[in-house]
Every structure is written in structure tokens, then in C-alpha cells.
Amino acid sequence: MQTQIRTAERTPFSLDDDQSYARWRANKLAVAGMPEAVVIQDPGELAAKERQALLRGAEARNFTLFRVRRPAMDIEASLRAFGRRLGLLDLDQNLCAEDSGITAITVKQTNTDKPYIPYTDRPLGWHTDGYYNAGHQQVRAWLLYCAQPAAEGGTNDLFDHEIAYIRLRDENPEWVRALMAPDALTIPRNTEQGQQIRPDHSGPVFSISPTDGSLHMRYSARQRNVIWRDDADTRQAAAFLLDLFQRGDDHIYRYRLGPGEGVISNNILHRRDGFRDDPASGNKRLVYRARYYQRLPAATEY
């Protein structure tokens, strides 16, 4: 109990503590510009220096880009080892994950009633991963690794969710309060072939981890199949975010992953452009993804 109280006192995310927030905000906004990719020789055998550089980058921006010098033959095994070495242990098993928990995202048929957008060449809107998961299975980190880019397109936009929090709180702290309500955002149940495979999930957009005081965001910009809490502050906060994505922000980073490149992240906001594959020339987009229930550890913990 004592620990929890201390954590709550330290957090810049308390709406009653403007001083901690101001200090934290200044440090956050001082980190600007696209980060350099951390070069990794072999993700299956991550060196201590490489690991430090990855974790330090994630501490500053909640994501780090990396570039692999020698891609492994068994990509999935090497990515699993990579995650483990970074301190990420629990893989989120989803509907379409292969057995290993590493998901190959590429254009393919899925056994679902409607085409599942990640497995098409269509654009993917702003979201954090696992926004449709139950409260106790929130995705706190993910990694993406590009084995093969598309012939054209497929660029990602990346936006630290803590910066989104700052933009909202600076505009109106009541919007942040509204988004922390336990029923701020509901994802209605999902049925496949008449069978319910997921119940309704209500939860906050922003929440603070009781274990480490970090900020978590659960969000989807989709307009259908999401239910925002029906009050003025929630509606205005949701509209503000959509407008922010339209207007742009100098902390939104646009990056097209090349072969052997990837991102690790504390589940920041992201989206993907549509793309065009050209399988005849071998340019068929293939990106591996892993999701974790825990966040990347602090660099200093190693």
C-alpha cells in the first residue's frame, strides 16, 4: 500500500499536481526530431550496448527505431529472443497470431467474416494496440520488424501517446479527466460466424499503471464499432484528438521501414499508409509484430 501511495505522489499524471506535470512536460517536449536508428548486429544475440541504446531511446520517446545488420534465417525465433533480452516476456496471443506469438502481417486471407484490415493493403488509422482487449490484458509494448517493404507505400506515422496527453491537458485538463473514466471508451462485442468471440470491453483511454506509475493509452480513431461515453468533455476530447491527427504535430514522426528495420515501443499511437505489393518482383510487404503485456524496462534497471 505504501508503495502505491508513493507512486501516486510521484506521477506527473495526477491532475492535482501541476508542478510535477510542468517539470515532466518540459523534459518530454525537449526531446524533438526523428531519432537515429540503433544498429544491431544480430537481434537473437543482443549486445549489452545495443540493448542500452534501445532502452534509452524508448525512455525518451517511448519508441526506438532499429536496423539489423545480419537478419537471421529464423526471424521469428530471433525476434522472440530479442524481446526477451529487452525484458519483454508475455506475448499477447491474438486471433491471427501464429503459434509463436509473433504475427506475420502481410496481405493474406483471414478466416473472419469481414476482411481484417491489417492483413489487407489498406491504410490503418490511428490506434494503440490491443484497445479491444480486456482491462487486465492491456498491451504495454510492441515491436515491429520489416522483413520486406511493399513496392510502394506502407509508411508508418508514430506519435508518443505521452505527447498526445500533453496536447489534451494543455488544452483542457477536464478532457484528460473525462478520458480517465472507467467507461470512457467501449469496444462492442465481436462475433464471428454467429459466435461471440469477445464481449464488450469498456475502459479508460488514459490510465496510470499501479505498479510503476507509467501512462497507458487505449485508443482507436475508428468511427464505427467504438462507443465514446456520452458526455460533452469526452466527445470534445475525442474530437480534439481527431483534429490533432488531421492538423499534424511536430512530434508525429513519419517513417517507412526498410528491410531489416523495426520499431520497439511502449504502445505509442501509430497508423499505416495503404500500400501496393508487387509479388512478381518480390516486393510483397511482410512485417512481423509482437505484443507484450509489460512495458520496456528503464535503461538504468540493467
Q: State the residues that interact with Fe ion by CB under 5 A.
A: 129
CA-only gyration radius of the chain, Å: 19
Distance CA 128, CA 216 (A): 10
The Cα 86–Cα 265 span in angstroms is: 11
Nearer residue to Fe ion within complex by CB, 129 or 277: 129
Min dist. Cβ of residue 127 to Fe ion (A): 6
Which is closer to Fe ion, CB of 25 or CB of 272? Answer: 272
C-alpha cell at 269: 499511437
Please state, in angstroms and as integers, the Cα–Cα distance from residue 9 to each residue in 213, 215, 251, following that order: 9, 14, 28
CB of 19: closest distance to Fe ion in angstroms?
Answer: 35
In the bound state, the residue with its beta carbon closest to Fe ion is: 129
Pairing verdict, β 185-187 and 156-159: unpaired
Question: Which CB atom, from 238 or from 287, has the smaller least distance to Fe ion?
Answer: 287
CB 264 within 8 A of CB 64: yes
**What own/partner pairs with CB < 8 Å and gap ≥ 24 does 43-50 have?**
43/68, 43/72, 43/78, 43/79, 43/81, 43/82, 43/145, 44/72, 44/77, 44/78, 44/81, 44/82, 45/81, 46/81, 46/82, 46/85, 46/86, 48/302
Q: Which residue number, 175 or 275, has a Cβ lying nearer to Fe ion?
A: 275
CA distance 297 to 140: 11
Which of 129/261 has CB closer to Fe ion? 129
Residue whose CB is less far from Fe ion, 11 or 267 = 267
Taking the complex as a whole, the smallest distance from the CB of residue 218 to Fe ion amounts, in Å, to 12
CB of 122 to Fe ion, least distance (A): 14
Task: Give me the least distance between CB of 168 and Fe ion, in Å please.
Answer: 21
The least distance separating Fe ion from the CB of residue 297, rounded to whole angstroms, comes to 22
CB of 285 to Fe ion, least distance (A): 14
Q: Which of 50/129 has CB closer to Fe ion?
A: 129
Shortest approach of Fe ion to residue 128 CB, angstroms?
7
